[in-house]
Amino acid sequence: MTGVETRSVTRDSLFLLANVRVEKQSDQHRVRVRNLSDGGMMGEGTIKINRGNRVEVELRTVGKVMGSVAWVQDQRFGIAFDEEIDSQSARAPSSSDGHEAERSGSLSYAHRAPSTPPSSDNLRKI
């Protein structure tokens, strides 16, 4: 290794989960997505997979993508997608139909703390 990046496709380092199914097998396996680009991904998991296997990858907000296993090393593996995807959409917040945040034009703040703390007069002692 020279430490020089030789790949022409940019990748996003991230932590996502995806479902992977090896072609001609019915079992789906939950794997961690460590790197994702428009042309492929690096996954990690206990799936029994070999170089050259055809796979179907289901990524949230992207959907199902077909590809081939390019390499395998221990529990990590690389998948080259048959068709390029929009890897940035995998980072988008997921919603019930995948387009709710796009329609509203903003993100949900449902899990945000209230802007003003509640008055102690309204609290009860336990």
Residues 24-64: tens digit of each pLDDT: 899 999 999 999 999 999 999 999 999 999 999 999 888 99
Residue 42 near residue 65, CB atoms below 8 Å = no
pLDDT in tens, 74-99: 999 999 999 999 988 887 766 544 44
Q: Is 51 left (phi over 0), alpha (psi -120 to 50) or beta?
A: beta
pTM: 0.65
Q: In this structure, are residues 13 and 4 in contact, taking their beta carbons and an 8 Å threshold?
A: no
Residue labelled with tokens 């029994």: 48
